Amino acid sequence: MEFPDLGKHCSEKTCNQLDFLPVKCDACKQDFCKDHFTYAAHKCPFAFQKDVQVPVCPLCNTPIPVKKGQIPDVVVSDHIDRDCDSHPGKKKEKIFTYRCSKEGCKKKEMLQMACVQCHGNFCIQHRHPLDHSCRHGSRPTVKAGCSPMTASECKPPGDFLALAPGGLAQRLRYCFTRLM
């Protein structure tokens, strides 16, 4: 041993390794080797004074301030229960958002049902042009539950028959030719 006074022994009781480049803990002021210099590795009793970390909310990604002596997990949990903007239980999105345009009707629907003629949004009860007294565009079609239109007015487009299954398409063609 040429340099017996060079380096220091690790202060960890289970290690006691001679280290030529020891690291002094800034909290407890003891010397440690490269394996035990972190607060957690040598279980530093004063780590809470120096090891200040700001936890981040996992839902809204905002930093949560933690005062000395508080447990970060408890503070984050309180934030999620009270202040968090992204809490799944707090924010209730409106399902029925499309309000009926018929005068005097206050019903709301989940899906938008726009009139082809006047482009207004209506509830299920007022979705047909005669049910909401549609005055725009061409002559309104049939009111729900009223007598059917003439065959020339109610003829479906050719694409409709092309999409129908074989037997159904034949039956529909037969019905429409009988109406004419």
pLDDT band, residue 109 (cuts 50/70/90) = confident
3-class SS string, 126-178: CCCCCCCCCCCCCCCCCCCCCCCCCCCCCCCCHHHHHHCCHHHHHHHHHHHHH
Which residues share a beta bridge with 99? 108
Name the residue with higher pLDDT: 152 or 29: 29
Q: What DSSP state is assigned to residue 18? A: E
The answer, yes or no, to whether residue 21 has pLDDT greater than 60, is yes
Mean pLDDT score, 112-140: 80
Structure tokens at 107: 């019903």
Structure tokens at 2: 């040429």
Task: Tell me what pLDDT residue 24 has.
Answer: 93
Helix (H/G/I), strand (E/B), else coil: 82 = helix
Question: pTM here?
Answer: 0.32
pLDDT band, residue 142 (cuts 50/70/90) = very low
pLDDT (tens digit per residue) in 23-80 = 999 889 999 999 998 888 888 888 777 767 788 988 888 899 888 778 888 999 998 8
Task: Tell me what pLDDT residue 33 has.
Answer: 92
Helix (H/G/I), strand (E/B), else coil: 75 = helix
The dotted CATH code for 94-136 is 4.10.1110.10
State what percent of residues in the chain have pLDDT above 70. Answer: 67
Handedness of CA 68, 69, 73, 75 (dihedral sign): negative
Task: Tell me what pLDDT residue 118 has.
Answer: 87
Helix (H/G/I), strand (E/B), else coil: 90 = coil
